[in-house]
Amino acid sequence: MIAITRAVSPRIVECELTCHDREPIDAARASAQHERYEQWLDRHGARIVRADPAPEHPDGVFVEDAAVVLDEIAIITRPGAESRRGETDSVARLLHDYRPLHRIEEPATIDGGDVLTIGRSIFVGQSTRTNDLAVEQLREIVTPHGYEVTAVPLRECLHLKSAATAVGDGTLLVNPRCVDRESFPGLEVIAVPETEPGAANVLCLAGALLISSSYPETRRMLQHRGLAVETIDYQELEKAEAGVTCCSILFRGPSPGREEAPPVTPE
């Protein structure tokens, strides 16, 4: 397993915010938390590959939004926040060594945090960062590889993965305030406690689940179901509307082919 990450920008306090009020962020503490996050990935078998630092981009540490990586191809996104569009080129340079590349083209916009892949099903959040044109472009790119794309309405959250992530094969952890259970037919849905609406973002790697230490009730609930749950202090990054999936792009090793595919142009 490969994990693309990027260092925390010293300007993280200037990050884009959609649903949270702005709070002071300690950049040094955020960097320390991110370092422990990378250590967790390393302990669970991921090889860390760091994108070039982007100190000029306050949100640059949240590399998940820059690309969607499947077994066959990688799709370079066009982030919904204009300030973030300069983050993708350095990620594309790295991914070129692992996957044939496609790109989402303007006027479409999409953040990787809105894309949840479960097997051959791809769920795409209809958020303030991702528009319908991007859903159609993504569908056109991935359908030849056997994937089915479903648009998922969202409310009161930044990204789909703010409201729903996988905790195992066929099972999702969901905040029903932000997304309807019926959006995921055929999958088991576990609702987060009402007292912990931000807890739906977890990271599954090598049979272990990583969850922020901010959500002890959700951790206990998942452990009661027999899941191996580990926690991390993520509070400074959470002030930037981050969840534990946001700071890495996880994917299996390289597939053949290195050429960048032509862009998909909507009709």
Alpha-carbon Rg for the chain in angstroms: 17
Q: Return the closest-CA partner of residue 107 out of 131, 141, 138.
A: 131
CA distance 75 to 97: 13
CA distance 46 to 214: 24
Partners of residue 173 on adjacent β-strands: 165, 190
First-last CA distance in the chain: 37
| 41 close to 3: Cβ distance less than 8 angstroms | yes
Q: Side chain identity at 30, as an amino acid letter?
A: A
Q: How many CA atoms, within 13 angstroms, populate the side-chain half-sphere of residue 251?
A: 23
SS3 130: coil
Tokens of 74: 């990688």
Q: Side chain identity at 84, as an amino acid letter?
A: R
Find the catalytic residue in 15, 157, 204, 246: 246
Pair type for strands 67-69 and 74-76: antiparallel
Clarify whether 20 is annotated catalytic. no
Q: How many CA atoms, within 13 angstroms, populate the side-chain half-sphere of residue 32?
A: 8
Clarify whether 246 is annotated catalytic. yes
Find the catalytic residue in 34, 57, 102, 159: 159
Residues labelled as active-site residues: 159, 246
